[in-house]
Amino acid sequence: MKYIFHDLLANINPFTSVILFFCVFGLFTPQASAQTIQSIPSLTGTVTLDGFSNESAWSGAAYLPVTSHQPVFGQIASEETEIRIGHDDAFVYISGRFHDSTPAGIRTNSLYRDQNSGDDTFTLILDTFNDNENALAFWTNPVGVRGDYAISSDGNSTNSNWNTYWDVAARKTEDGWFMEMRIPFSSLGFQSQDGRVEMGLIAYRYIARKNELVSFPALSPERSVRTPSRAQRVVLEGVYSRTPLYITPYFLAGSGKSAALNKQATRYESASDLVTDLGFDLKYNLTSNLTIDATVNTDFAQVEADNQQVNLSRFSLFFPEKRQFFQERSGLFQFGTLGSGPDRLFHSRRIGLNNNREVPVLGGARLVGKAGAWDIGFLNMQTARQSGIDLPSENFGVLRLRRQVINPYSFAGGLVTSRIDEDGGYNVAYGLDMTTRIFGDDYTTVKWAQTFDDGIIDGSGFDFSKSGMYQLQWTRRRNIGLNYWTSFTRAGTDFLPGMGFTTRRNFTEGAWYVSYDWLAKESSSIRQISPIQFWGFVTTRNDDGSVESALYEYDTDVRWKSGMFVWMDLEVHYEDLRSPLELPENTIVPVDNYTFFRMEGGGGLSSGLLFRPSVSWGISSFYGGKRFDAGWNATWNASPVLQFIGSYSYNRIRFPDRDQGFDAHIVQLRVRVTPNTRLSAHTFIQYSNTSSLGIANVRLRYNFREGHDLWFVYNEGFNTQRFDSRPALPVSNEQTFLLKYTYTFGS
């Protein structure tokens, strides 16, 4: 039987598989949800956004009663909480009266946008397409800081880099704090049928000093409060599609300095140049549920620098996407290809970046939203030729389609990517996936993908056993009680997604996780205990079935109602090296198979404290040697205006038998200065001794209003071990000063 199945996978035509896949799941239609739907009324009168919600219009708003989610579920809120919501034909309005018996204890630790530093907060979550899977979150604190993020995978993934247009006002008094939000429908995306819109809604208040969270609707702690499938279904009447157009031109000016070795290779010489540039972004709502974004001469000057990492493995390091253009409904494009790692069929950092250095983006467009039952995501970008590094101009294309099937919690779809350069080189990939809610909180996922690359033209391009991958998963999504997942993945030697991220090729992997978590008694100071957590994976080579890597791990965690936590892990690793592993400072691990043991742990204090340290440590054998590592992180809110975030990680690795070893240090310091909610400065300094590099990134932003910004950006990379090379390296590799101005015109 297994040989029949293998032959089927190896020889099936990929285009036939696409047709069969969509024919199968196209026969199913989602069943309607049985949850009671609550009406959100239309407000009569005007609302002045000042935070106090004392206008007569609020008398007609819907009242949202709250219930304690943590530290003890089901209790009455310890502080009086009044949340009301309504709408007109253009905006959703929500107000909060958050009374507090100890107003001096209200936490307002930061004025920095999108930065929650253990503040008292209010959060509104809207599942705007009512799909039980994705949502948009808007939060604020007692001084009206704006924060927003996107939720995908039913709360399993959040994207804090997402931003949109909306307004909030908040005030703090001797009775507590009060706020009003106003969110344009044009910033949400929704489906309207004759003016009737259904959404999912979650609203919650967090009291930092008590680590208390109260929510509407009542959400038990078995899963996160940020779970769209548990949202209250609400309906809004009289809401019709609007198609606003936003055009955001930018002007950039600055100077740059770089160093290069002279022709005689005797010393490094610096060259400076002045930079001026123009470009623009365009955003247009084709319908209320379908948005197109276009960009010309795209610039990402204000993006924060990547965190430095030490690579102690044979695989490439993964860095997350931070550029704003790629954030809109980015969860829709997710297509993981490895159960135990970050591998994926599409990773947007492949566009406009080469070895973490910027490649000019000439322009492109993105279309995201919903058309009928289908989620749609389309992206096309063109990069410029880089003659200095022999990099041709390339076109990057992505198409994602997905829809609900079988029931309101199940989805199926497909993803296609293409990467084509001006010299005729190409890489094309397609993937099909289906996630099905079987019963309760149990889900299965099936994935199938294949790639075609011009560099692999040996007659096996359509041989799925070589150029394809498939994955089977079973997951139980719970935070309390029994939780588990297991996955089986196989990928061929020629599976190479040119727009994705991969760590392994030609492998078969089985991965698993099982845990049991329970809540302590109400009288206990402990909130949650996780004494049983097992996870691991075994990866084998397809060629001979030998084990390439394996991990077996046992974890235990304890969390207190105050927010304090501790954890400890025991691990067994196995690695079979068939080529030497190169580590920092010319340290080489020879070819052999290695089994090593590791113990690690750590803990931290409540996020509601002004000073919040956490520590971690690890002791292990390591490829025949020894390893000790430690980490320290701390956030100190000296005042709402000034915040320090520091971290230090240390790795000490020794191979006594080979008389080799090294010490790896990474130091990071962030300083945020925020005089008010419009003006902010962020300094990020990093040092890594293994890369002999110090990095400074300074960003100063003045936000006149949403979509109208002035940025000053300074970046510099310093060589910290200049005299280890001959000729001596320059003090600085690269230095830039940039001024960027953007202004959004809207209609």
Q: What is the pLDDT of residue 458?
A: 58
Q: CA angle at residue 616 from 570 to 611, to 5 degrees?
A: 145
Please tell me which residue, 22 or 489, carries the higher pLDDT value. 489
Q: Give the range with max mean pLDDT: 62-66, 300-304, 358-362.
A: 62-66
- Lowest mean pLDDT, pick from 46-50, 190-194, 504-508, 591-595: 190-194
Q: For 423-437, how does the pLDDT look when each residue is reduced to its tens digit (9 = 90+)?
A: 889 999 999 999 999
Helix (H) or strand (E) holding 740: strand 732-743
Q: Which of 726, 717, 729, 742 is nearest to 256 (CA)?
A: 717
What Cα–Cα distance (Å) separates residue 550 from each residue in 470, 485, 580, 612? Answer: 20, 17, 18, 35
Question: Distance between CA atoms of 287 and 284, rounded to whole angstroms?
Answer: 9
Question: Distance between CA atoms of 647 and 663, rounded to whole angstroms?
Answer: 17
- Lowest mean pLDDT, pick from 16-25, 135-144, 317-326: 16-25
pLDDT above 90: residue 345: yes
Q: Strands 232-236 and 38-40: what pairing?
A: parallel
Q: Which of 706, 711, 658, 651 is nearest to 681 (CA)?
A: 711
Q: For 113-171, how does the pLDDT look when each residue is reduced to its tens digit (9 = 90+)?
A: 888 878 999 999 999 999 898 999 999 999 999 999 999 889 888 888 888 889 999 99
Q: Which of 91, 93, 66, 83 is nearest to 169 (CA)?
A: 93
pLDDT above 50: residue 575: yes
Question: Distance between CA atoms of 467 and 452, rounded to whole angstroms?
Answer: 7
Report the chain's C-alpha Rg in angstroms: 27
| Sign of the CA dihedral with 406 first, then 408, 409, and 413 last | positive
Assess whether the previous peptide bond of 613 is cis (omega < 30° from 0). no
List, by residue range, all CATH 2.60.40.1190 domains of the chain.
42-236
**Both structure tokens of 318:** 């993964």
What Cα–Cα distance (Å) separates residue 9 from each residue in 300, 457, 461, 492, 615? Answer: 42, 20, 14, 11, 48
Q: CA angle at residue 536 from 530 to 537, to 5 degrees?
A: 160
Question: Distance between CA atoms of 737 and 714, rounded to whole angstroms?
Answer: 5
| Helix (H), strand (E), coil (C) string for 673-725 | ECCCCCEEEEEEEEEECCCCEEEEEEEEEEEEECCEEEEEEEEEEEECCHHHC
Question: Distance between CA atoms of 516 and 529, rounded to whole angstroms?
Answer: 9
pLDDT above 50: residue 284: yes
- Lowest mean pLDDT, pick from 386-390, 554-558, 593-597, 643-647: 386-390
CATH topology of domain 42-236: Immunoglobulin-like (2.60.40)
